[in-house]
């Protein structure tokens, strides 16, 4: 028998009892809805974590300076010196360790950059040669700093995508070749870079809002001693480096390498004026929590699908009971047992698939709402939609078979006597 014919024989009932059908499907609707939204959110989170890794590369260990709250042994004057963070000997010692390919450094200028009286939302870093490569920035105009810039301590800079607008406004067309003044120094712009992933590094707000100069230039035109605060109660910060991006040779033992760096830093620094992070571990941690989330939500979804299925079975059993006379009549005019079975089974499956469709809509809505209100990324995958449809169908078959079997095996004589 064709599906279309089965439709004629049975489906009208579902539309006759629209509200009842809808209520019956609620379990499926919520079950599928939570499956879809859960998968969308964990998919989105995973994608975000991967994007971060993508930007940095997974073969990196980040070591960074942490500012101290107060001075250690303060001198008699009101001016104290804060001496903290990563230093050159740290860098050299790390470089001597096994499994280290290179250490890329960055030092942030703490003195604010101004334009007239206005303080600009821009930071300046003096960085080592491979910085652009190791933070995954693209050169969109001009060039990156060259080895000769470093050798000659050239007064050149490369700027982040947003810097031009912040310093020159929207009017300026060609930026490469222009000069930027920071403090007393004039820096010639040689290139513009862009960080598509908007990577956040420890101590760096946004690479697109920053100016980069060769580390050699930085050391010669700026000072590692910077005075912060008012004249009366200024603090002098002495920091040699803010950031090491440690690139390893062998990813397999990255954890081991990170531990050794940690141990070394612990020995070399009396206070905890430094921090360390391994992006790969962040991803792993994220995955672990994701998995717990998936298991919990999956169980909830599974339970609501089972409860929904039982609800549907219940309604279908009532339906079979109510329609005994119809069943008897149909048997009398030539329906085989299996015709009756298919009729009721298809009705249940249709109900659950319809519920599944509504559930998919609900799930997409929930995922979009969560993204909208909490900013958590989400991504509804085709596989989750196809899978949900399949699950809905399977729930229909699993929970529809017994009522359909019961309908098919009604004694036609007794069924005909039913009112």
Partner 1 sequence: MSASREIIRLENLEKTYFKKSLAVPVLKGINLSIYEGEFNGIMGTSGSGKTTMLNILGLLDVPTGGKYYLDGDEVEHFSDDHLAGLRNRKIGYIFQSFNLSPNLTIGQNIEVPMIYGEIPKRDRVKRAKELAESVGLGHRLNHRPTELSGGECQRTAIARALANKPAYLLADEPTGNLDEKTGEEIMRLFHDLHEQQKVTIVMVTHNPELETQFNRVIRLRDGRVVSGND
Query: Which two tokens mark 280?
Result: 């790969």
Q: Say which residues have a Cβ less than 8 Å from residue 153's Cβ, sequence separation at least 6.
A: 214, 216, 217, 219, 220, 221
Q: Using the minimum distance from each CB to partner 1, give the nearer residue, 5 or 252.
A: 5
Q: How far is the CB of 324 from partner 1 (least distance, A)?
A: 11
Least distance (Å) from partner 1 to the CB of residue 401?
Answer: 19
Q: Which two tokens stand for residue 240?
A: 């040699």
For residue 8, the minimal CB distance to partner 1 (Å) is: 6
**5 vs 138 by CB, closer to partner 1:** 5
Nearer Cβ to partner 1 (339/379)? 339
CA angle 187, 193, 197 (to 5 degrees): 140
Min dist CB 400 to partner 1, Å, is 19
Give the nearest distance from C-beta 320 to partner 1 in angstroms: 15
Integer Cα distance of 166 and 355 in angstroms = 53
DSSP conformation letters of 273-303:
-EEEE-HHHHHHHHHHHHHHHHHHHHHHHHH
Which CB, 329 or 371, lies closer to partner 1?
Answer: 329
**Neighbouring C-beta atoms of residue 39, cutoff 10 Å:** 25
Residues 6+ apart with CB under 8 A from 259: none
Instruction: Considering only the C-alpha atoms of the chain, give the largest distance between any 2 of them, rounded to a whole number of Å.
Output: 109
Closer residue to partner 1 in complex, CB, 362/416:
416
Dist. CA 406–CA 403, nearest whole Å = 5
Residues in contact with partner 1 by the rule CB under 8 A: 1, 4-5, 8-9, 12-13, 16, 325-326, 328-339, 412-413, 416
Nearer to partner 1, 24 or 34 (CB): 24
DSSP-derived secondary structure letter, 8: I
Does residue 320 contact residue 403 with C-beta atoms inside 8 Å?
Answer: yes
* Cβ contact 201:243 at 8 Å: yes
CB 336 → partner 1: shortest distance, Å? 4
Distance, first Cα to last Cα, the chain: 28
Q: Which is nearer to partner 1, 4 or 184 (CB)?
A: 4
User: Nearest Cα to 404, choosing from 320, 308, 330, 332?
Assistant: 320
CB of 345 to partner 1, least distance (A): 16
Distance CA 163, CA 398 (A): 62
Locus of tokens 């085709």: 382
In 3D, which of 202, 199, 201, 200 has the Cα closest to residue 275?
A: 202
Tokens of 297: 């939500």
Q: How far is the CB of 319 from partner 1 (least distance, A)?
A: 12
Radius of gyration from C-alpha coordinates of the chain: 34
Residue 8 or 314: the one with the smaller Cβ distance to partner 1 is: 8
Shortest distance (Å) from residue 329 CB to partner 1 = 4
Nearest-5° Cα angle at 202, 196 to 206: 35
* Shortest distance in whole angstroms from residue 4 CB to partner 1: 8
What distance in Å separates the CA atoms of residue 166 and residue 122, rounded to the nearest whole number? 8
| Distance in Å, CB of 325 to partner 1, minimum | 6
Instruction: Output 293 or 405, the one with its CB closest to partner 1.
Output: 405
Nearer to partner 1, 138 or 322 (CB): 322
C-beta of 342 vs 399, nearer to partner 1 = 342
């Amino acid at each position: 028998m064709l599906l279309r014919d089965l439709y004629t024989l049975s489906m009208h009932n579902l539309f006759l009892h629209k509200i009842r059908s809808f209520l019956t499907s609620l379990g499926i609707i919520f079950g599928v809805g939570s499956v879809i939204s859960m998968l969308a959110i964990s998919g989105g989170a995973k994608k975000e974590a991967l994007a971060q890794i993508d930007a940095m590369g997974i073969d990196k260990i980040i070591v960074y300076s942490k500012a101290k709250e107060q001075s250690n042994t303060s001198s008699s004057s009101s001016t104290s010196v804060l001496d903290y963070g990563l230093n050159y000997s740290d860098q050299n010692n790390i470089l001597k360790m096994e499994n280290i390919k290179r250490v890329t450094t960055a030092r942030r200028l703490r003195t604010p950059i101004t334009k007239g009286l206005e303080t600009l939302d821009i930071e300046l870093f003096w960085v080592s040669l491979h910085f652009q490569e190791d933070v995954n920035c693209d050169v969109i105009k001009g060039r990156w700093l060259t080895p000769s810039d470093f050798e000659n301590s050239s007064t050149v800079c490369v700027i982040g995508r947003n810097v031009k607008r912040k310093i020159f406004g929207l009017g300026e067309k060609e930026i490469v070749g222009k000069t930027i003044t920071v403090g007393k120094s004039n820096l010639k712009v040689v290139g513009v870079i862009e960080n598509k992933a908007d990577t956040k590094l420890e101590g760096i707000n946004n690479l697109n809002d920053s100016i980069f100069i060769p580390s050699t230039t930085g050391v010669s035109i700026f000072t590692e001693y910077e005075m912060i605060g008012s004249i009366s109660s200024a603090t002098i910060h002495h920091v040699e480096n803010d950031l090491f991006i440690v690139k390893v040779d062998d990813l397999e033992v990255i954890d081991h390498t990170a531990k050794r760096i940690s141990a070394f830093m612990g020995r070399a620094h009396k206070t905890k004026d430094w921090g360390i992070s391994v992006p790969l571990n962040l991803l792993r941690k994220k995955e672990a929590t994701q998995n717990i989330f998936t298991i919990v939500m999956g169980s909830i979804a599974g339970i609501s699908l089972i409860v929904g299925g039982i609800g549907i079975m219940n309604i279908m059993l009532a339906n079979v009971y109510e329609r005994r006379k119809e069943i008897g009549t149909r048997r009398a005019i030539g329906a085989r047992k299996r015709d009756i079975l298919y009729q009721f089974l298809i009705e249940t499956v249709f109900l659950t698939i319809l519920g599944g469709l509504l559930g998919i809509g609900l799930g997409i809505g929930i995922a979009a709402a969560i993204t909208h209100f909490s900013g958590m990324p989400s991504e509804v995958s085709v596989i989750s939609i196809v899978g949900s449809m399949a699950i809905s169908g399977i729930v229909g078959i699993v929970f529809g078979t017994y009522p359909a079997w019961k309908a098919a095996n009604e004694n036609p004589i007794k069924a005909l006597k039913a009112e």
